[in-house]
Structure 1
Amino acid sequence: MTTPALRVAVLVPCFNEEAAVATVVADFRKVLPAAEIFVYDNNSRDRTVDVARAAGAEVRSERRQGKGHVIRRMFADIEADIYVLVDGDATYDAPSAPRMIDMLVKEHLDMVVGFRVDQSAAAYRPGHRTGNWMLTGFLSLVFGQAFKDILSGYRVFSRRFVKSFPVLSDGFEIETELSVHALELALPVAEIETPYFARPVGSFSKLNTWRDGFRILGTILKLYRSEKPLRFFTAIGVLLMVISVVLAIPVIITYLEQGLVPRLPTAVLSMGLMIMAVLSVSSGLVLDTVTRGRREMKLLAYLSQPAINKK
């Protein structure tokens, strides 16, 4: 078990989780008796607030709708050495928390992700499983292999990670942003298998497979553009160059054979595309310099926070 000298905070974002939140609070109170449990309500229309407070949690609210807004508020408000982030739907295994915390402390990590292992067919819907697999593969291709479950809502963080993480997302794409932040700064992270259960009766998923899947994919593309602009804009530039050359070849052949340029609009389009390609690559070079500066600022913010010390 981890030492009691370290202050542990359990952060539980909730939206209409009256049927599950009491179970979550009780389970984490049992396995982490010294931890402080904070339930952040996100405009619930049921009795989530009353149930969470009766279960013994400290309840706070975030008025702006969206999981990203809730986590931004949590990370800003709560002071602790170790943060346990878990959804309030009672699908994650509380007894895994001490193992995750021990791994974080003993191996001097900044994030441990609970890799979900479903315990029933109802726990992990096929659409969500496929979407997670596709998004995880795309993220690995773009940023490098590091995670098997980027959408897990069960994570343990160091104070360094939490206080240096600039939350930009509004909704469920926040898990993707957390993963990308760790990959881009090459922070020490790990995954550990945890059981994943079906929701209790009366609890319903707020995740829309297609809508939120496209939002997460859009977040990955935005982060790829902002974190690796040289690759992003060079790829666009190369594509424009190829199209420009393909359009220009017939025009050049006709000019060499006849000394005329009868397809003037095509020639102008080809030249315009080539100019855009050069501008795209140039933009990538400039933005890459800016991104390096921002990355250095993030690292300085990260290093300004004390590391976890076992007392």
Structure 2
Amino acid sequence: MIRNDHMQGTTHIAGVETREVLHAKSSACPLCSFDHQTYLFLRHGARVHRCANCGLTMLHPQPTDSEILSFYERNIGPDAFASNGQLTSSFTEQDAANAYVSRLRKHKAPRSRMLLVARKEHPFVTAVESAGFQVETVLDMSELRRTNLAEEYYDCAVLIFQLEKSSRPIDTLEQIHKALKPDGLLFLVTPSMDSWSAQFLRSQWTEWRPENLYYFDRQTIQAMLLRSGFSHIEISNDRRRYSLQHLYGRASTSPRTLLTSLVQAICYPLPDQIRARLRMRLPASGILVTARRVRRRDRPLLSIIVPVYNERSTFVKTMEAIIAKELPGADKEIVVVESNSTDGTRELVLSYQGSHGVKILLEDRPKGKGSAVRTGFKHAEGDLILIQDADEEYDVNDYDALIDPLITYQTAFVLGSRHIEGWKIREFNQQPGVTAFFNLGHLIFAGLLNLMYGQRMKDPFTMYKVFRRDCLHGLKFECNRFDFDFELVIKLLRKGYTPVEIPVNYKARSFKEGKKVSAVRDPFTWVRALAKYRFSSIYHEPEQLGDSHTAED
């Protein structure tokens, strides 16, 4: 039995005091293995914690099945889950099931051998079979834990509000990974901490339920999938057409809160016909996630993109430093994009042709740094991507600190910040006016970006942008010059990635030493990028993707 006890912020679960102690001893985060969690609040007798490293939210300690049933019997009645059958047959759930089927069609999911993890009475079963899909196996989460699935047998797997109920979500995803054929499609629906309802309702959110053991946001669900051997991940917000009848039924079968009590009070006096006919489309609590099974590497591969143009005096030294750099936690490949330099740099680049772990890409004419980096993206094969200029302004010895948050699944996006310790990062010898101009310009443009996109970044324009390659999935890029720095950061922000800033070493070079940014031309392109990418689509059109899998906002 679970009961609330707000005395000293404790929770008492009768008869399981030893179990709580055991959980405390093995409380490492299942995603990043970090052993420190932050207590958030007590909800329905369970303590909600968040990993202090990656942000994964979870119940700790986890209630048992019998404790969950006992809780619902006390709060709702002895037949606590009986009305769930009525909910799953409601107009809202049937409409959602049809939307899920459309999602599968959009991704060209195979129609044979589907593994479905959902409640057996869920209307998706009927909807997907009516659409011509073969549902081979239907299990709920408790049954999946006890089932040995055949390896590489299923073409597609669907999880509908089940992953959050798994006591070991990584193990569950790895189990499904083994059961899927290569390139098999995974589609899952799960409550999201990023959803409008979670952000607005906070502790009154209806998804705070004792059977939901984990709560994901966009970054943690992506990290879970990547760690479990999935890629080409696409995440979109769920929107549903709700009837008042569904809202009333949901409130009646949810743990009692101020919100659910208010909904019941408003809907109860209304006749059933009115509750059934009044419908509205609203943002839902869930997110829709698709991914593809891929082959997992033993160690992550870091792709280092090196755009090069007229860097004869610095290229070789930079290249040698990159080649010599050891990465204990990852392998590396170096992708050099040379843009037909006029100072002999191309000949130096070609001297590395055939070197182990080095790719040489030659452009027929210089189109700008952004164009070269985009070319590098297309040829990168790594799990992680890092952008490295060939001008010796940055120190390759910072690589370890930059990739560590990605390898440990703390975040998906890292910026190597030159501004952590202060604002005067550029110092041009005997040019105080130029120094002040560029430092002030940085403050202005960083302030504008932070204001327009709700961030607090110190150095969004650093060269050291490091991220998981899957972050680029579905995004379209078009900027060719230094406005690409704005475009890349903005589109990653809009896709849902918040960067972690890591301090790095930096030594600015002057225009005489080869600095290529234009103080006259480039600021206008930066203003254009700030405005344009605030509202325009950031994704490829579906017909432009061919066989790849488009992302959605």
TM-score, length-scaled by structure 2: 0.39
CA pair 215-73 structure 1, distance change in 2 beyond 3 A: same
Q: Which residue identity lines up with residue 226 of structure 1 in the other structure?
A: S
Residue equivalent to 2:503: 193
What RMSD, in angstroms, separates the aligned Cα atoms of the two structures? 3.1
Residue equivalent to 2:398: 96
Matched, 1:36 2:338: no
CA pair 208-200 structure 1, distance change in 2 beyond 3 A: closer
Q: Which residue identity lines up with residue 113 of structure 1 in the other structure?
A: L
Give CA-to-partner distance per residue, 1:46-80, whole Å, 9 cap, x none: 12122234365532123351122112211112211
Residue equivalent to 2:380: 78
Matched, 1:48 2:345: yes
2:428 to 113, 122, 128: 122
2:317 to 23, 31, 44: 23
In structure 2, distance between residues paired with 1:292 and 1:181: 9
For residue 31 of structure 1, report the CA deviation from its aligned partner: 2.0
Q: Which residue identity lines up with residue 364 of structure 2 in the other structure?
A: R
Judge conservation of contact 1:112–1:157 (CA < 8 Å) in 2: yes
State the identity as a percent: 24
For residue 105 of structure 1, report the CA deviation from its aligned partner: 1.8
Q: Which residue identity lines up with residue 405 of structure 2 in the other structure?
A: M
2:454 to 130, 144, 150: 144
In structure 2, distance between residues paired with 1:213 and 1:133: 13
| Paired residues for 1:1-311 under 5 Å | 5-32=299-326, 34-54=331-351, 57-63=358-364, 65-117=367-419, 121-122=427-428, 125-199=435-509, 203-226=513-536, 301=550
Unpaired segments ≥5 residues, structure 1: 228-290, 304-311
Give CA-to-partner distance per residue, 1:27-61, whole Å, 9 cap, x none: 12222464221211112111212223436553212
In structure 1, distance between residues paired with 2:305 and 2:516: 18
Which one has more relative contact order, counting CA pairs under 8 Å at least 6 apart?
1
Judge conservation of contact 2:425–2:439 (CA < 8 Å) in 1: no
Provide the secondary structure at the position in 2 that maps to 1:199.
coil
In structure 2, distance between residues paired with 1:35 and 1:224: 34
In structure 1, distance between residues paired with 2:475 and 2:503: 24
For residue 13 of structure 1, report the CA deviation from its aligned partner: 0.5
In structure 2, distance between residues paired with 1:7 and 1:88: 21
Provide the secondary structure at the position in 1 that maps to 2:505.
strand
For residue 4 of structure 1, report the CA deviation from its aligned partner: 7.2
In structure 2, distance between residues paired with 1:9 and 1:32: 14
In structure 2, distance between residues paired with 1:144 and 1:62: 37
Return the structure number with greater strand share.
2
Q: Which residue identity lines up with residue 170 of structure 1 in the other structure?
A: N
Residue equivalent to 2:135: none
Q: Which residue identity lines up with residue 481 of structure 2 in the other structure?
A: G
Judge conservation of contact 1:161–1:302 (CA < 8 Å) in 2: no
Provide the secondary structure at the position in 1 that maps to 2:478.
coil
In structure 1, distance between residues paired with 2:441 and 2:406: 28
In structure 2, distance between residues paired with 1:6 and 1:94: 18
Provide the secondary structure at the position in 1 that maps to 2:536.
helix
Give the greater-gyration-radius structure (CA): 2
Judge conservation of contact 1:25–1:52 (CA < 8 Å) in 2: no
Give CA-to-partner distance per residue, 1:71-103, whole Å, 9 cap, x none: 221111221111111111110111101111111
In structure 2, distance between residues paired with 1:154 and 1:144: 21
Provide the secondary structure at the position in 2 that maps to 1:83.
strand
Return the structure number with greater helix share.
1
Provide the secondary structure at the position in 2 that maps to 1:164.
coil
Provide the secondary structure at the position in 1 that maps to 2:520.
helix
In structure 2, distance between residues paired with 1:125 and 1:62: 33
For residue 139 of structure 1, report the CA deviation from its aligned partner: 0.8
CA pair 174-225 structure 1, distance change in 2 beyond 3 A: same
Give CA-to-partner distance per residue, 1:251-283, whole Å, 9 cap, x none: xxxxxxxxxxxxxxxxxxxxxxxxxxxxxxxxx
Judge conservation of contact 1:165–1:181 (CA < 8 Å) in 2: yes
CA pair 202-130 structure 1, distance change in 2 beyond 3 A: closer
In structure 2, distance between residues paired with 1:292 and 1:73: 17
Judge conservation of contact 1:62–1:69 (CA < 8 Å) in 2: no
Unpaired segments ≥5 residues, structure 2: 1-296
For residue 292 of structure 1, report the CA deviation from its aligned partner: 11
Judge conservation of contact 1:127–1:209 (CA < 8 Å) in 2: no
In structure 2, distance between residues paired with 1:24 and 1:120: 20
Give CA-to-partner distance per residue, 1:11-32, whole Å, 9 cap, x none: 1101101111112111122224
CA pair 163-43 structure 1, distance change in 2 beyond 3 A: farther
For residue 174 of structure 1, report the CA deviation from its aligned partner: 0.5
CA pair 183-24 structure 1, distance change in 2 beyond 3 A: same
